[in-house]
Amino acid sequence: MAMKVMKINWRRRVLLVLAAAASMWIGRTAVTPPPAPGDPVASQAATAPSNTTLLAAIAQRRANAQVEGHGVVSRILADDNDGSRHQRFIVRLASGDTILIAHNIDVAKRVPGLRVGDQVAFNGEYEWTAQGGVIHWTHHDPAGRHTTGWIEHKGLRYQ
C-alpha cells in the first residue's frame, strides 16, 4: 500500500511541475511587451524571410550556403571596384550578428538611397569569415547556372 501512495505522489509531483512550467511559459509570453514603435528589426520580422538558415550557416562556419535573411543596415561601405564592382554594406540581424552584403552592380542595379537604419531583406550565397560572413550572389546569374539572389529595400527587389 505504501508503494501505491508513493506512485500517486510521484505522478502528482510530475503533473504539478508540468503545470507550473506551462503556466510560467504562458505567463511569460502573455506579458512580453509589444515591439517599440519604429523598431526596424521587430516591424520587419512579420513579413521578412526567416534568418534561421543564415544563423545556422554562421554557427557552422559554412561556405556556399544559399540563405535568406533580413536586418537593419548598420554601416555603408565604399564600393569595391576591384574586378566586378560591388555595392557593400553591413547588416545587423536581430540576433546581433553582422553580415557584409556584397551586391554586384555590374550585373544588377544598385540599391539606391540605402541608408544606415534602413531595413533590408536578402537572398544570396553565404560565405563564413572571421568578421561574421559575407552574402554575395544577390543578383541573377546571366549564365543561368546559379540560384538567383536578390535584395529588397523599401518594397523594391534588386536582382
Residue-wise pLDDT for 89-124, tens only, equals 999 999 999 999 999 999 999 999 999 999 999 999
DSSP element (H, E) containing 22: helix 2-30
**Is the CB of residue 103 less than 8 Å from the CB of residue 50?**
no
Give the total number of structural domains in the chain: 2
CATH code, domain with 143 = 2.40.50.200
**DSSP helix/strand/coil, 63:** coil
Please give the backbone phi and psi of residue 76, each rounded to the nearest 5 degrees, phi first.
-105, 130
Answer yes or no: do 56 and 17 share one domain.
Answer: no
Same domain, yes or no: 94 and 63 = yes
CA distance 15 to 144: 58
**Do residue 80 and residue 121 come from a single domain?**
yes
The whole domain housing 27 covers: 1-32
Domain co-membership, 25 together with 52: no
Q: What is the pLDDT of residue 8?
A: 47
Same domain, 71 and 112: yes
Question: Apex CA 22: angle with CA 17 and CA 27, to 5°?
Answer: 125
| Residue-wise pLDDT tens digits, 29-45 | 333 333 343 434 333 33
Kindly state whether residues 110 and 85 are assigned to the same domain: yes
In a shared domain, residues 75 and 27: no
> Do residue 24 and residue 76 come from a single domain?
no
| 63 shares a domain with 132 | yes
- The CA–CA distances, whole Å, from 9 to 1, 18, 21, 158 equal 13, 14, 18, 63
pTM exceeds 0.75: no
User: Distance between CA 150 and CA 113 in Å, rounded?
Assistant: 16
> What is the enclosing helix (H) or strand (E) of 158?
strand 156-158
